[in-house]
Every structure is written in C-alpha cells, then in structure tokens.
Amino acid sequence: MLRRFLTLIVFLGIAGVAQAQDLQPVLQTHAAEIANPSRSSVSVALEDLAASGAPQVSDFLEQWEDKGVWQRTSDGMFFFATEEGNDLRLRDIDTGAETLAPKSGFSQLKPNGGVRRLIGTALVQFQLADPDLARRASAVDSIARRPDESQLEPLLASVDGEPDAALKARKIQLANFLSASFAPDPNDKIDAINSLSKDTSIEARAVLNQILSVKTGVSADAPTGNVARLLKVGRDLSQEAAYAQLVEAKLAPPLVPSGSIRDALAANVVGGKVGDIPTAQLDNQPMREAAYAVLAGDGLVPPLVTQAEQIAAVEAHTFFEVYDEDNAAFTDAARAALDSIETRVGAAQTVDLTLDALSLASIYFLAAIGLAITFGVMGVINMAHGEFIMMGAYTGYVVQQFVPDYTVSIIIALPLAFAVTFAAGVAMERLVIRHLYHRPLETLLATFGISVALQQLAKNIFGTQARPLTSPGWLDGAWVFSDVIQISYIRIAIFVLALLFLGLILFVLKRTRLGLEVRAVTQNPGMAASMGINPDRINMLTFGLGSGIAGIAGVAIGLYAKVTSEMGADYIVQSFMTVVVGGVGNVWGTLAGASLIGFLQKGIEWFNPSNTLAAQTYMVLFIILFIQFRPKGIVAQKGRAAAD
C-alpha cells in the first residue's frame, strides 16, 4: 500500500512543483481525523496528505508529531503555533504569515504514541535523503520501529549517498534486516539471513524469530506444510492441553466441567430424584457422575468423556508445530543463524548477569564499608549507620538546592556529606557510645534510639516525600556493549567509588600511623594507652571515619535510587549481614560478604525472575544458615583478636 502511494508521490510531486498547492483545504477535508486521530483510522488522512504533494506536508507532519499544531475552535483552521505565555504565536501553514492570538480560542493537537509512529513512517520518504542529519536519523529510527516491505528499495537507494559513517552503517544493518524479511530474490534473502548469524542485537533476533514464527496444529494423519517439530504428549505438552487442542480443532467432544454436571442435574430433578438417585445423596462427585450417566443414557445431556477416552483420542492424533513461512530453505537458514546467535546471547547474558551482580555487590559494599570500620574494627554496633547514609543523601539534596550545576554540586556534596556525617559520628561517639564500650547490647539499643529520632527528624525537616537527587549529565545513560550487555554509568561510578574506598581504607588501616593506632586500640586499649596512644581520640576518629564514609555512600545511593527518610532502614540489616557474613574485623571480609550476597541474590533472581521478593527471602535464609555453620564469617579472624 505504502509503495503504491510512494509512486503516486513521485508522480504528484512533479505536478506539485508546477503549481504550489495549499495544504489547509486537504487538512480540512480530514479535520476530524487530524484533530482527534486514532492509529487504526489515521492512515487514510496520512495517505491523502502525502498524495496532495504540497511542499508543506513534511513540515506539517513534523510539527504535528511534535504537538506543534493548534486548531482554531471557531472555524477549525489549523496553524503552526508556539506558546508565549497566555498567547500563541501562530504561523499560517501555507503562507507562513505570523500572528499573535490568545490561547483560549485554540486547542492543541496531541497525537498519541501510536499515531506519532505512523506519522514518523509517513515522514520517512521525505526525510531519508534530507540534508539534515537529525531528520535522516529519525527516518531510520522510524523504519526500525515499523519495518515495512516498501521501505527496502528507498532505504537501499539512500545508503550510497549517506555521508555520515555511523548512520550509513546503521542503514546497511537495517537494509539487511529488511532484506532478510522481504527481499524478493530468495538467494538475497538467504544471504541476508546468514549474515545475521553474528548479530546479537534484539532487532536481528526479532527478524529471525519472525521468520521462524510457528503455529501449533493437530491432525489424525501425517502433518503437512513446513513442519518445525513434532510435539510429544507428556514431554512437550500436557495430556490436558493436548485434549483441549483436540476439542478446539473439533476433533474430540468437549469435556463436561463439574459445574455443568451440577447444573444439568439441577435442571433434571424429577420428584426429588435425578436418574433414580435422591438429590440428598448428590453431595459427592461419584454419585453425581452416576446420576449424570443415567441422564446421558436417556439422551438428555451430552455424555461424559472418560479418562480412557481422552487418552485414546490424544493417542490417535499427531501434534506438531508448523512454520508460517512455507519455504523450508528460509526457515532452515534462519534456524541455523538463530542457533548461532543464541549461543552468543547466552554467553552475553552470563556476562551481563555478572555485571549486575558486581554492581549490586558494590552497592552493598559501599553501604556496609562504614560499618566494617565501626562494627568490624571497633566492635561498636551502630544501628544509626543507615541514618548516616540518609544524612549524606540529604546533604546532596540540599547542596543541589543551592548549586544548580549538577557536576559542581556533586563535587561539593561528596566532601560535605563526609564532613557532616563525620561530625555527627564524632558527636555520637563522644556523647553516647563512649559510655557504653563495655555494654555492646546497650550500644545496640541506644544507637537504635538515635536512629529512630534521626529518621523522624528527617521527616519533620524534609517531609515524607522522596526528594530528587539528580546525577550530572555525564552520568546519565548506560555503557552499551551490545543489546544484552549494558550497565548504567551511575552503577559504574558506584563500583569505582567502592573500589576507591576499599583502597583508601586498606591504606589508612595498614599504612598510616592512624591505622596502626586504631589496630592497637582495638586489640588492647590498656596496652595501647600505656604506649602513649590516646584511645579516646583514636576511637573518636575511627568512628568519625566510618560515619563519614557512610555519608559519601549516601550520596552515591541517593543518586542511583531515591532519597527518603527511610532509605537508611532499607540498608541497615543488609549491611550488618554483609559484615557478619564476610567476617568481622577485616575489610576484605566485608568485600567477600558483599560479593557473596550480591552474586547470590542475582543468581536466585535468575532462577525465578518473576519474583524478586522470593530471591531476597531465600538469600536471608541462606545467610542465617551460613552464619550458623560458619559463625566467624568467610574471612575468619584468628588468634586472640578473635575472642569476644
């Protein structure tokens, strides 16, 4: 159809040059459809528009697609218009004359997504060879969205003249897809199909899958047509499904559902009895079937189909799948190409899953790394750790309120978040935790009190609504390796951040004076003090460091998910489990714990993709069992330090 009016265009296009034609009258003949278009009926109007040959058509279609066309309520005339406050700057579609008018007398045309796609397709012919790169790209996108036989020729024709290398490659790829589906010469078609066997993109698979689309069939004799495969009852489809298929093909009588048995019995009660059985006895299935059999014997109702009859009926037939494409050469080539793609896709999916798991692990690690210091090294249970993460995220939000440039604001927010939570951590250590070093269980409860208070405080200040924390533009989007393997930049950034912190903390603990003193105080505070180390100062600094890192983690987590007063609570239990599973007192342990949890969670999700909640449940269960059998975690501390 499209091709037909393409030729029409060429023909009329020449005529159009001869006499400039007005578009408005054509629009008015389809005014209702254009003002209120529907995907199923707009094609007529589009064809007529294109057929009018007016040079304004492509301009009009573009404006229409972008919601730039308005209709005057009084006389139904269409205008290009842009909003200026309460006014509209109108541009006449044919003359281009500009006027200003109040908005109230006009209504904006808002074609829906489906119509926009059709407009895009109609625009292809105008845009494919347009000097503007963006227009050509949009035409190519339109073809990709709605591949159509008629587009193959013009697309092929435009390939050679394409100056942009990337777009040219894309055009060639698309032409390949179209050839695989629509090439008139069978050899071209098979060549195109074969050439897809290395392309793991979703589009390539879509092309092949459409060639390989099947429908199921059933027959008493050998199957006919381009048979894809024979189905074995019990393996490929169940006995019930097979029988249902027979019923649908009218090759077997339908089953009588138990509801209809009851209805049939109720309809045939004679003198309190059905088929000589009193109704009082019909409260179980065997008696009902017996009574029904009597009715069936009298020919009052269709007979029941017994289990044996069902099996016999199914056995007497062959069930199979047959390709919609009749030519076996095409389907064979497509099958071979698809099989080769699937192996690659399988490998790519594994890589993608690994990336996802790594990313999740790095988020868990980032959330838990502060705890690895406060809990792991110092042995302080800080239930308010999650709230430090939240404070960091809110710091980021507040900074963005004052610094509108997202890149600058993030650069300010990261150290500021560290400073804020460092101060909060030091304050908490001085005021509360210091007094409770010998009562770990009480530390847990006191910090929980702080956590409750901080959470509510955040609610009172920032409200319960989630607050936006927007990442800078260069972190938008994803690193795309192929259609299967991709990961968003923000996740990569978090991964890098996690690595940085791992390095930083290892460095601080192992290579600096502070780290040495921290380890000394942790192992034996009394001895450390007698060596001239001030344990109070060290405890304070260590706790501040752990809290400060939680603050930075908060900014990162806020960037990728959300900023709410409850975000900390989402991570606290998870973080403790990460540290405990990994092994207390060791940063490597936390890394191991986070990796284990991240990979495990993704692994379980992969087995049951429809229920993420189940994956989380099983993961927690696994952690419980793991700790029961390995209470010291993956990287167990040895020697004296291990004693509680």
Partner 1 sequence: MNYLNKFAVCATAALLGSTSMAMAQDCADPVKVGVLHSLSGTMAISETTLKDTMLMLIDAQNKKGGVLGCQIEAVVVDPASDWPLFAEKGRELLTVNEVDVIFGSWTSVSRKSVLPVLEELNGLMFYPVQYEGEESSKNVFYTGAAPNQQAIPAVDYYLEELGVEKFALLGTDYVYPRTTNNILQSYLMSKGIAEEDIFVNYTPFGHSDWATIVGDVVALGEDGKQVGVISTINGDANIGFYKELAAANVSADDIPVVAFSVGEEELSGLDTSNLVGHLAAWNYFMSADTPENAEFIATWKEFIGDDARVTNDPMEAHYIGFNMWVNAVTAAGTTDVDAVRSAMYGQTFPNLTGGMAEMLPNHHLTKPVLIGEITAEGQFDIISQTEPVPGDAWTDFLPESAVLTSDWKDLECGMYNTETKTCVQLTSNY
Partner 2 sequence: MHKTFISQNPSVLWFIGLLGLFTLAVVVGSEATGTGLISTSMVKTLGKTLCLCLIAIAMDVVWGYCGILSLGHFAFFGIGGYAIGMWLMYARTEIIVLGSLEGQVIKPTPQEISDAIGNQIFGVVGSSEFPWLWAFADSLFLQLLMVVLVPGLLALVFGWLAFRSRVTGVYLSILTQAMTLALSLWLFQNDSGLRGNNGLSGLQNIPGYEDTSQAVISLVFFLGSALALACGYILFAWVVSGKMGSVVQGIRDNEARVRFLGYRVEGYKLFIFTLTAVISGIAGALYYPQAGIINPAELAPIASIYLAVWVAIGGRGRLYGAVIGAAFVSLLSSWFTGGGAPAINLGFYTILWTDWWLVLLGVSFVCVTLFFPKGIGGLFDYLVRKPS
Which residues of the shown chain bind partner 1 in the complex (CB under 8 A)? 38-40, 67, 110-117, 141, 145, 202, 205-207, 209-210, 213, 352-353, 356, 359-360, 363, 459, 464-468, 470, 476-478, 483-484, 486-491, 557, 560-562, 564, 566, 570, 602, 605, 609-613, 616
Per CB under 8 A, the segment of 3-11, 318-326, 516-524, 613-621 that binds partner 2 is 613-621
Alpha helices, DSSP H only, in 298-405? 307-315, 328-371, 385-402
Q: Which of 408, 573, 641, 642 binds partner 2 (CB under 8 A)?
A: 573
In angstroms, give the least distance from the CB of 627 to partner 2. 6
d(CA 77, CA 27): 9
Q: Which of 239, 285, 512, 534 binds partner 2 (CB under 8 A)?
A: 285
Q: Does 270 contact partner 2 by CB under 8 A?
A: no
Type and span of the H or E element at 523? helix 513-523
* Binding site partner of 231, from partner 2, partner 1, none, Cβ cut-off 5-8 A by kind: none
User: Over 293-305, what HEC string results?
Assistant: HHHHHCCCCCCCC
Are 558 and 567 spatial neighbours (Cβ–Cβ below 8 Å)?
A: yes
In our burial notation (b when 16+ CB lie closer than 10 A, e otherwise), range 585-617 reads bbbebbbbbbbbbbbbbbebbeeeeeeeeebee
* Per-residue tokens: 540: 């304070």
Q: Which of positions 67-96 make contact with partner 2 (CB under 8 A)?
A: none
* Binding site partner of 623, from partner 2, partner 1, none, Cβ cut-off 5-8 A by kind: partner 2
Q: Which of 42, 363, 371, 577 binds partner 2 (CB under 8 A)?
A: 577
Beta bridge partners of 625: none
| Chain centroid offset of residue 408 CA | 30
**Cα-Cα-Cα-Cα dihedral of 397, 401, 405, 409, to 10°?**
-40
Q: Does 637 contact partner 2 by CB under 8 A?
A: no
* Binding site partner of 577, from partner 1, partner 2, none, Cβ cut-off 5-8 A by kind: partner 2
| Chain centroid offset of residue 258 CA | 42
In angstroms, give the least distance from the CB of 512 to partner 2. 28
Rg (CA), the chain: 36
Q: How many other C-beta atoms are found inside a 10 Å radius of the C-beta of residue 453?
A: 12
Residue 100 gets which letter from DSSP? E
* Binding site partner of 490, from partner 2, partner 1, none, Cβ cut-off 5-8 A by kind: partner 1
Q: Does 216 contact partner 2 by CB under 8 A?
A: no
* Binding site partner of 145, from partner 1, partner 2, none, Cβ cut-off 5-8 A by kind: partner 1
Beta bridge partners of 90: 81, 99
Q: Does 38 contact partner 2 by CB under 8 A?
A: no
* Binding site partner of 256, from partner 2, partner 1, none, Cβ cut-off 5-8 A by kind: none
Q: Which of 134, 220, 222, 613 binds partner 2 (CB under 8 A)?
A: 613
Q: Does 506 contact partner 2 by CB under 8 A?
A: no
Q: Which of positions 414-473 make contact with partner 2 (CB under 8 A)?
A: 432, 435-436, 440-442, 444-446, 448-457, 459-460
Q: What are phi and psi of 289, to 5 degrees?
A: -65, -40
In our burial notation (b when 16+ CB lie closer than 10 A, e otherwise), range 1-22 reads ebeebbeebeebeeebeeeebe
Question: What are the residues binding partner 2 (CB under 8 A)?
Answer: 258, 262, 265-266, 269, 274, 279-280, 282-285, 288, 381, 383, 432, 435-436, 440-442, 444-446, 448-457, 459-460, 569, 573, 576-577, 580, 611, 613-614, 616-617, 620-621, 623-625, 627-629, 631, 644
